[in-house]
């Protein structure tokens, strides 16, 4: 399957080592932030409030310890390899259990491989985390081209279908002939594409959030439950009130990227606003839903790798396929729906062979960070019948 014969198939060990000068530059830029004004009483309805961001940026500058979190990330075996002309960074953590099933986990925007940090251990070594060793996985967590240490991209064309093709090459290169795929956000699109591309290798696809989008046919909405209609109403509200970031990133990523690449406070605001909006609706602030240091590690990866622009380009590259119906996939599929997610089973079943459906009353769009135990449990249950 490794069709790129003109490039090296070498897998190179990788270690994160951000120069101290970059840490000093970040602290200096945060100290010199020219903060914008804000209106009284509007909360988050106009975007990330300056009064909140000031405190968060000061914590990032004076209390957050990048070196400690860099060391924690470096505790995972990391590698890079070149696929389709692009360097791809990935974690590859093999289970101590010999019969473990390989599993590729795909993040989205504004996440990164950091998002999966809490679930790698339980997935690879359930015996050490109170689980059944029969549920073990060999875990691969790549950074999408353009994101983090897989960035920036060097050419146009890196849409989600191309990422899925790269993942098929990566898993083949690692020697995995039979494996599962799990995805969140953009990963919930890439993982099903991978299943459709390599159904002879992908035993199952699990996503959190939703699998597919409404077609616009009114008949598709007939007979939906009150909860399902509420989820779709929430999705429409998001498109009306919260899709500005996607419109900018899908039309003018270079322009918006200038500010994000020059101002760490700008990069912080751009990402933190989505964590406030997309995490568990019961959480008032991002740090009420996710570990604050893990969130800042995620933001720091965007900042230190200078990938605000190239990650945004994923939206520009994929815009042409928005709304297009994918060919039906018969790969067994599972969905975990968390609060705020738009998942509707009937819509998912239109284009996918859905064999597993779970709904939760805790968590949100970033369950690997918010409710890792719930996500791990659901992934284990889904793949039990597919091993």
Rounded Cα distance between 48 and 31, Å, is 19
Cβ atoms 7, 82 nearer than 8 A: yes
Q: How many CB atoms lie within 10 A of CB 147?
A: 28
Tell me the CB-side half-sphere exposure of residue 334, using CA atoms within 13 A: 22
Catalytic position from the list 315, 341, 356, 378 = 315
pLDDT at 326: 73
Residue 60: which of 269, 261, 252, 367 has the closest Cα? 269
pLDDT at 215: 86
- Residue 6's pLDDT band, with cuts at 50, 70 and 90, is low
- CA dihedral in degrees (362, 365, 368, 369; nearest 10)? -80
| Chain mean pLDDT for the chain | 96
245 catalytic? Reply is: no
In the three-class reduction of DSSP (H, G, I as helix; E, B as strand; rest coil), residue 84 is classed as: coil
The answer on pLDDT for 245 being more than 70 is yes
Cβ atoms 26, 238 nearer than 8 A: no
Residue pLDDT, tens place only, 199-220: 999 999 999 999 998 888 888 8
The mean pLDDT of 26-30, rounded to a whole number, is: 98
Catalytic position from the list 92, 138, 206, 365 = 365
The answer on pLDDT for 15 being more than 80 is yes
22 catalytic? Reply is: no
Q: How far apart are the first and last CA of the chain?
A: 22
In Å, what is the CA distance from 49 to each residue of 38, 46, 200, 302?
A: 7, 8, 49, 21
Catalytic position from the list 125, 135, 159, 185 = 185
The mean pLDDT of 53-65, rounded to a whole number, is: 98
Residue 321: partners with Cβ closer than 8 Å, 6 or more residues away: 159, 160, 161
Phi and psi at residue 195, to the nearest 5°: -60, -40
User: What structural domains and CATH numbers belong to the chain?
Assistant: 12-384 (3.40.50.1820)
pLDDT at 323: 62
Q: Which residues pair with 101 in a beta bridge?
A: 137
Rounded Cα distance between 280 and 360, Å, is 11
The answer on pLDDT for 257 being more than 80 is yes
pTM (2 d.p.): 0.96
Cβ atoms 132, 69 nearer than 8 A: no
Rounded Cα distance between 315 and 303, Å, is 19
10 Å CB burial of residue 322 (0-12, 13-18, 19+) is exposed
pLDDT at 216: 84
Q: How many CB atoms lie within 10 A of CB 341?
A: 24
The answer on pLDDT for 168 being more than 90 is yes
315 catalytic? Reply is: yes
pLDDT at 4: 46
The mean pLDDT of 50-66, rounded to a whole number, is: 98
Q: What DSSP element (H or E) covers 209?
A: none
- 239 or 65, which is more confident: 65
Q: Which residues pair with 180 in a beta bridge?
A: 103, 204
The answer on pLDDT for 261 being more than 50 is yes
- Residue 143's pLDDT band, with cuts at 50, 70 and 90, is very high
Residue pLDDT, tens place only, 171-200: 999 999 999 999 999 999 999 999 999 999
pLDDT at 1: 47
Cβ atoms 177, 198 nearer than 8 A: no
Residue 30: which of 255, 271, 269 has the closest Cα? 269
Compute and round to an integer the Cα radius of gyration of the chain.
20
Q: How many CB atoms lie within 10 A of CB 143?
A: 26
Pairing of strands 12-14, 78-83: antiparallel
pLDDT at 3: 46
Question: Two tokens at 132?
Answer: 């059944």
The mean pLDDT of 319-334, rounded to a whole number, is: 84
- 387 or 320, which is more confident: 387
- DSSP structure class, residue 45: B
The answer on pLDDT for 74 being more than 70 is yes
The answer on pLDDT for 94 being more than 80 is yes
Determine what percent of the chain is predicted with pLDDT higher than 90. Answer: 92
Q: What DSSP element (H or E) covers 162?
A: helix 160-173
The answer on pLDDT for 327 being more than 90 is no
Phi and psi at residue 217, to the nearest 5°: -75, 120
Residue 272: partners with Cβ closer than 8 Å, 6 or more residues away: 48, 53, 56, 286, 295, 299
């Amino acid at each position: 399957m490794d069709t790129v014969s003109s490039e090296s198939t070498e897998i190179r060990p990788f270690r994160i080592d951000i120069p101290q000068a970059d840490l000093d530059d970040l602290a200096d830029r945060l100290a010199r932030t020219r903060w914008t004004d804000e209106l009284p009483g509007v909360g988050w309805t106009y975007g990330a409030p300056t009064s909140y961001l000031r405190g968060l940026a000061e914590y990032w500058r004076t209390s957050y310890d990048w070196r400690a979190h860099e060391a924690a990330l470096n505790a995972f075996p990391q590698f890079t390899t070149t696929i389709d002309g692009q360097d791809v960074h990935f974690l590859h953590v093999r289970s101590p259990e010999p019969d473990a099933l390989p599993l590729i986990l795909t993040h989205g925007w504004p996440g990164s491989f950091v998002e999966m940090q809490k679930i790698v251990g339980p997935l690879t070594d359930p015996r050490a985390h109170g689980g059944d060793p029969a549920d073990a996985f060999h875990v691969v967590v790549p950074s999408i081209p353009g994101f983090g240490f897989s960035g920036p991209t060097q050419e146009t064309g890196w849409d989600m279908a191309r990422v899925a093709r790269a993942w098929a090459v990566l898993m083949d290169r690692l020697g995995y002939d039979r494996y599962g795929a799990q995805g969140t956000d953009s990963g919930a699109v890439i993982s099903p594409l991978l299943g459709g591309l390599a159904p002879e290798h992908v035993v199952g696809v699990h996503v959190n959030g939703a699998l597919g989008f409404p077609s616009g046919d009114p008949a598709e909405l007939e007979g939906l439950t009150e909860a399902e209609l509420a989820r779709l109403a929430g999705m429409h509200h998001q498109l009306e009130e919260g899709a500005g970031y996607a419109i900018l990133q899908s039309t003018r990523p270079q322009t918006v990227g200038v500010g994000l690449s020059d101002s760490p406070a700008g990069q912080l605001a751009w990402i933190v606003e989505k964590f406030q909006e997309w995490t568990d609706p019961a959480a008032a602030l991002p740090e009420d839903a996710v570990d604050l240091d893990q969130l800042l590690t995620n933001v720091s990866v965007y900042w230190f790798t200078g990938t605000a622009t190239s990650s945004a380009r994923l939206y520009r590259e994929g815009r042409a396929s928005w709304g297009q119906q994918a060919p039906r996939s018969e790969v067994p599929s599972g969905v975990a729906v968390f609060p705020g997610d738009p998942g509707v089973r009937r819509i998912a079943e239109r284009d996918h062979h859905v064999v597993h459906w779970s709904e939760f009353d805790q968590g949100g769009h970033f369950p690997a960070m918010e409710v890792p135990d719930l996500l791990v449990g659901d992934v284990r249950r889904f793949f039990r019948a597919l091993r």
